[in-house]
Structure 1
């Protein structure tokens, strides 16, 4: 590893001290705890773009997270960073997502506005530090400071706040107990995980959108980054069948993005010459980045996907229906919290005020899978809200 990599021998420790494993580094152990968590398993039935019932081939939050981790390991290794820490952050980055993806998050954020709002990144930290309750000596997974830091701020510093903004409540409360230095950038490993997320979803959303028939290969071949990939495949493999042609083209696009980050980040690291992982945190700017040219091309892809996929009429129709699921369940549980499973009842009884109750209800709904939320809504409301689109 490079001098600026996070060395597990010098990790910043766990909030509750533990005897470390004789066979795994502390970052490997963090990764394994994340993989074995209940929240990680539930990602298999949580929306990426298409709601879980719409098809077996579309990505879910689980398959997305696995793809992010694969990209992250590759780039981390190429840059001399710690691949185990990178993988842990990558696998945990979406643990806080609600059912129905960003649609569910938007609905919960609106419903929670009187009680401090909702943010999926802060919820991921809340899950690994509190809501996973399997161990005798602590709540959460008791991950290392380095992994928790990466989960909290892989997208950049969270302090100082812009005027009128507040830290998500769960993040602020945890940080008051265990300072994650929210004013600095995260480690290079966490920065790699963040860009791996961008690479993975830009690539697989193109694949899923094509499979769903929301746009054609001819249309995406007009995009600056994608056209040359199709041209190269057609030159090398004239007459290739449509599915192989698509795969060969999009895997090249995938490779373009990965190579760009590696080349750009190597140049930035060489220029910055960090003498340790803390130097990366204190640099004041990211060291892991796309080139300016690649960033322009990615913005074109994102704009295309926003118009043709994320706001496609068929997708918006489903979004409207599943938003109603969250809007119906939240006030129902607030009015009748006894409807929550029995293991939640002690905390409900101990809730000091409406805000405390709302946060418990929010945690419960946020943890639901698409399937469970739809089933709960059907059972409690007597309405099969997706029946007319099945």
Structure 2
């Protein structure tokens, strides 16, 4: 993006608040481009390939993983950012990093790990993503983490809104987030940049669309049921009018890509309206606006509420998915109990961290970090190795 095409409310890479550990600037890449590239090359990003959204990793090659989801979110974020005159690389970096902290087995794994960690401050995947990019990635000689810019860290921490209400004590924050805020001063009572807000809405657009696609592909609900949904029904009707008798696979794809388009256009129209009304003159004005500048319209938000309610009942609470959730939660709980009771069975580097932990809570955090970094496949392998007497160690 050139300076002339950048909106006044966009983040300017030339005016970044910088990195915790100063580094020479690149001659060929902006600071936000470097952030994006470091995220893509991280170990945590590669592991997203074998972490699932709704289904367990081995259930089918065509279902979304955290990696394919993150790529879809990044694609949407770039489109919206470019249209609104925002910094595409910053929006893309936040989009690619937003799920790095997810443990195995999707939200089921997070719920189970949060329950295990309840006595020790809980578990939150956004806070865990921050810990990964500031501490747990150990690739560089001069620092732990990826040494990302302040703007990217802020986006990871705040893309879903301010984590801290004015006057609220830090004690209510996830420990990882509170510690990161002390080091980086992330202004947790304000909104994030417009680029980070774009990443958050792009996440909503991507998962609403692909959960419909994956649910239909898995046979958890029918095309007729999908046709009864707002947004979705009119898109199916439009395709069927234009191509009568189209085979189901093509019909589904053509309709759902139109659903995608409806959501993107709505975000663009509503965001333009809000930006014009608020007239922010800087990225900081966006942060301090008191309300999101990037948003769905009220009408579309209600339509999406109905779609999510349908998916909750017909997909997330389908008996097949419930069976998977029960098994996945048991794996996480049992792994946590084993590692807390017998840290000596952890791999050497993790065992040393656990044994050096100054308290039970600190040891629990080490165990949670280890489990959160697992893929679905590795979690199942570890569980079998530790619980099946006949499994090879």
- Number of residue pairs aligned between Structure 1 and Structure 2: 385
Report the alpha carbon displacement of residue 241 of structure 1 after superposing the two structures with TM: 1.1
**1:216 is aligned to 2:239:** no
1:44 aligns with 2:81: no
CA distance in 1, matches of 2:232, 2:243: 17
Contact 1:86–1:193, Cα closer than 8 Å, also in 2: yes
Write out per-residue CA displacement over residues 158-213 of structure 1, whole angstroms, 9 at most, x where no aligned residue.
11277997100011011112110001000000000000000000000000000000
Aligned 8 A contact 2:345 2:351 in 1 = no
Following the alignment from structure 1 to structure 2, what is the Cα–Cα distance between the partners of residues 287 and 346? 46
Match of 1:315 among 304, 321, 330: 321
Aligned mate of 2:154, from 146, 149, 152: 149
Structure 1 unpaired stretches of 5+:
385-390
Taking the aligned partners of 2:8 and 2:170, their CA distance within structure 1 comes to: 39
Question: Which residue matches 1:292?
Answer: 298
Cα displacement (A) at 1:342 = 1.4
Among 1, 4, 26, the residue aligned to 1:21: 26
SS of the residue 2:53 aligns to: coil
2:132 — aligned with what? 127
Q: Name which of 117, 120, 125 aligns with 1:112.
A: 117
Q: Work out which of the residue numbers 197, 204, 210 in structure 2 matches 1:198.
A: 204
Shift in Å, 1:345: 3.1
Q: Quick check: 1:244 aligned with 2:250? A: yes
Distance 2:244 2:7 in 1: 43
CA RMSD of aligned residues (A): 1.5
Which residue is 1:59 aligned to? 64
Q: Which residue of 1 aligns with 2:241?
A: 235
1:167 to 168, 173, 179: 173
TM-score by length of 1: 0.97
- Residue by residue, what CA displacement relative to the aligned partner does 1:300-321 show, whole Å, maximum 9, x if unpaired? 1000000000010000011001
2:172 aligned counterpart, secondary structure:
coil
CA distance in 2, matches of 1:178, 1:184: 15
Higher mean C-alpha displacement, 52-61 vs 232-241: 232-241
Whether the 8 Å CA contact 2:164–2:170 is kept in 1: the answer is: no
1:347 maps to which of 347, 353, 361: 353
Q: Distance in 2 between matches of 1:364 and 1:198?
A: 28
Q: Could you list the runs of 4 or more consecutive aligned residues of structure 1 that deviate by over 3 angstroms after TM superposition?
A: 161-165
Deviation at 1:349, TM superposition (A): 3.0
Q: Which residue of 184, 187, 190 maps to 1:184?
A: 190
Q: Which residue of 2 aligns with 1:273?
A: 279
Match of 1:379 among 375, 378, 385: 385
Q: Using the alignment, how far apart are the partners of 2:43 and 2:37 within structure 1?
A: 12
CA contact (8 A) 1:377 1:383 kept: no
Specify the SS of the correspondent of 2:160: coil
Instruction: Give distance in 2, aligned partners of 1:59 and 1:356.
Output: 34
- Taking the TM superposition and a 5 Å limit, the aligned residue runs for 1:67-146 are 67-146=72-151
Report the more deviating stretch, 116-125 or 341-350: 341-350
Q: Structure 1: how far apart are the matches of 2:385 and 2:244?
A: 54
Taking a change above 3 Å as real, the CA distance of residues 382 and 352 of structure 1, as seen in their structure-2 partners, is same
TM-superposed deviation, 1:282: 0.6
What TM-score do you get using the length of structure 2 for normalisation? 0.96
Work out the CA distance in 2 between the residues paired with 1:174 and 1:195.
24
CA gap of 1:324–1:13, structure 2 versus 1, over 3 A, is same
Please tell me whether residue 30 in structure 1 is matched to residue 35 in structure 2: yes
Instruction: State the shift of 1:346 in Å.
Output: 3.0
- Structure 1 residues 224 and 168, CA gap change in structure 2 (3 angstroms): same
Residue 360 of structure 1 aligns with which residue?
A: 366
CA–CA distance in structure 2, aligned partners of residues 335 and 241 of structure 1: 55
* 1:348 to partner: Cα distance: 2.3
Partner SS for 1:158: coil
Is residue 375 of structure 2 the alignment partner of residue 369 of structure 1? Answer: yes
Tell me whether 363-372 or 233-242 shows the greater mean CA deviation.
Answer: 233-242
